[in-house]
Amino acid sequence: MTELSLRLAVSLAQIAAVMGIVMLTVMILTLAERKVLGWMQDRMGPMEVGPYGILQPIADGLKLFFKEDIVPAGANKAMFTLAPLLAMVPAMIGFAVIPFGPSVTLDAFGITIKPFVISDINIGILYILAFASIGAYGIILGGWSSNSKYSLLGGLRSAAQVISYELNVGLAIVGVLLLAGSLSLVTITEAQAGGFWHWFIWGARPDGFFPIHTQIFAFVVFVISAVAETNRVPFDLPEAESELVAGFFTEYSGMRFAFFFIAEYANMVLVSCVAASLFLGGWNAPYPGTILGYVGLERLAWVENVAWFTFKVYLFLFLFFWLRATLPRLRYDQLMRFGWKVMLPIALANIVVTAITAYFFPRG
Amino acid sequence: MNLKTWIKTITFYELLAGMKATMSHLLHYRPITLQYPHEKRTLPDNYRGMLALLRYDDGTEKCVGCDLCEAACPSRVIRVVSAEVPGEPTKRYSKEYYMDMTRCLFCGMCVDACPVDALGMTREFEWAVYDKRQLHLNKQQLLAIGDRSFPVREEQLEFQHPNVAFFNVAFKHLPQKPS
């Protein structure tokens, strides 16, 4: 009984810490996106709240918190309330299986704790994909229950888009799963240890340098599909400002709107974490081992690993902003053709090639 | 599709060229925007801002109530009520003068039309108000704008002889034309 309650307390503490970090990242992202977009367009971005506008996320949060909560006439109230939760919870829940740092274990109070992953379940990546699909229900329900034509169109677009591109995400990671021989993100990350040539984007075997199992095509497919899945520019058809006002959350205001907003950014962080873990070696440094480990500070090596993970995740997040500053929105038929006739064949061909090379040149 | 185009397509060449452009703007960051309420841009010399009624250096109004501005205005902003100067049957002035600035398009035609240069365009542009009735200006308000925007006033010219009926009101206080 005491052990069970102790485990529960540790898990809750880990969940609180991860949630806090994710929400903090979302706050940073809302500001960073506006700043980076501004700089890329020769503007300054927000400058009013605090020095150089760094307190803008707090002001935005307070504003959304105190805004009137409007439910449109004719809306299905239950669904209207449920939709933001359905969008936000799956975006948050995926972080449970992300390894943020090395898989060291800690023995404290008589139980074994893994400090850098909440739950190392053996179907990790499948679990993330499953919950990401539930997130699409939030968007579709939000669009349908608003009783507005713009919302409905945004929701419908989102449904078609998420189905098309989730398939590509699923197929793009199959190569990585073949090579790592596991669905657990912890195992996949550990399989990429020992220098950047062992990362799955490069794909050298554990004893060599030659990129025999390179997953670079899968990586490109994954990143593009991830952008599409998170409804970001240039695949932001569900919320297309210039066509659909704001798409599926046209009728939302106040905290419900904030939930959709947080869900979008949390999804960005989640797919960045997954991309970093699957293709860029997760918390592994691009050189074998860690510098802190070499200079005799093995106990602090996790700091370096966590820093590398954070760096990779923020690199992806910067890519999201960069794409948004550069690319115009795709047309609907272009989106569908690109998904089904370009991305899908590449992903399938990658599976075949990876399977053949992994059979003839097995990894150890 | 030839080989070159094909290679450009599969390497996302066009997208990368675009992303290079945005990245170069990020790296050579020189904002062209101004933090408006804190820093204001330099207005050009011929800036056409808020309209104002002007006075001569001795404080008399320039306006002779001729209604030409009202006729020149394309948006029917101006309404002039002309009247005789009390006790001076040959002289006229604008008894009332109204401008509905909600309609004004700042073309400056009234200023061009004025024969006595009684109208001026100031450099004021921050005229946002909560109640648009506040933009319906009367003669006193327009004169006040003129007073604060044109502190250096024009002298009454010599040719504004009391016998010339068209020019103006306050001839009584003028020195006589030297003979």
CA distance B93 to B139: 12
Range of the domain at B166: 51-173
- Whether ipTM exceeds 0.90: no
CATH of the domain at B119: 3.30.70.3270
Q: Are residues B168 and B83 in the same domain?
A: yes
pLDDT over 90 at B130, yes or no: yes
User: Which region, left, alpha or beta, applies to residue B128 given φ > 0 means left and ψ of -120 to 50 means alpha?
Assistant: beta
CA separation for the pair B171, B177 (Å, rounded): 11
Question: Residue A230 carries which side chain, given as an amino acid letter?
Answer: T
**Is B35 within a domain?**
no
Residues of B engaging A, defined by a Cβ cutoff of 8 Å:
15, 18-19, 21-23, 25-26, 29-33, 35
Q: Give residue B161's pLDDT.
A: 52
Residue B179's pLDDT band (boundaries 50, 70, 90)? low
Say if B45 falls within a structural domain: no
Q: Are residues B58 and B18 in the same domain?
A: no
The answer to whether the CB of B121 falls within 8 A of the CB of B111 is yes
B29 and A42: CB-CB below 8 Å? yes
- B7 with B87, same domain: the answer is no
Residue A284 to residue A305: CA distance in whole angstroms: 6
Strand partners, A106: A113
User: Which residue bears the tokens 């809750």?
Assistant: A12
- Within a domain: B124: yes
pLDDT of residue B169: 47
B97 domain-assigned: yes
Mean pLDDT per 10-residue section of chain A, whose length is 364 residues: 81 90 90 90 86 88 87 84 88 88 78 81 88 85 85 85 86 88 86 81 76 84 89 80 78 85 89 90 82 78 87 91 88 87 90 89 76
Average confidence score pLDDT of chain B? 83
Number of compact structural domains in chain B:
2
- B23 plus B55 within the same structural domain: no
Same domain, residue pair B55 and B141:
yes
Q: Which residues of B touch A34 (CB under 8 A)?
A: none
Q: What is the pLDDT of residues B159-176, one digit of tens each?
A: 555 555 544 444 555 555
A325 with B35: Cβ contact below 8 A: no
**Do B55 and B128 belong to one domain?**
yes
B125 in any annotated domain: yes
pLDDT bucket at B177, cuts 50 / 70 / 90: low
Same domain, B113 and B161: yes
Co-location of B17 and B55 in the same domain: no
Domain assignment present for B24: yes
B124 and B58 fall within a common domain: yes
- Structural domain includes residue B110: yes
Q: Which residues of A touch B29 (CB under 8 A)?
A: 39, 42
**B2 to chain A, closest Cα gap in Å:** 19
Residue A9 to residues A3, A96, A118, A220, B116: CA-CA distances in angstroms? 10, 15, 12, 40, 87
CB contact under 8 A, B26 and A39: yes
| Distance separating the N- and C-terminal Cα atoms of chain A | 43
- Does A42 sit within 8 Å of B33, measured CB to CB? yes
Residues of A within 8 A of B9 (CB-CB) are none
Q: Check whether residue B65 and residue B24 sit in a common domain.
A: no
Cβ within 8 Å of residue B100, ≥6 positions away? B76, B77, B79, B135, B136, B137
- Provide the whole-model pTM: 0.81
Q: How far apart are the first and last CA of chain B?
A: 93
Residues B72 and B124 grouped into a single domain:
yes
Same-domain pairing of B77 and B150: yes
Cβ contacts (< 8 Å) between B24 and chain A: which residues? none
Q: Which of residues 7-36 of A touch B (CB under 8 A)?
A: 36
pLDDT the model gives residue A364:
64
pLDDT at residue A334, as a whole number: 86
- B161 in a domain, yes or no? yes
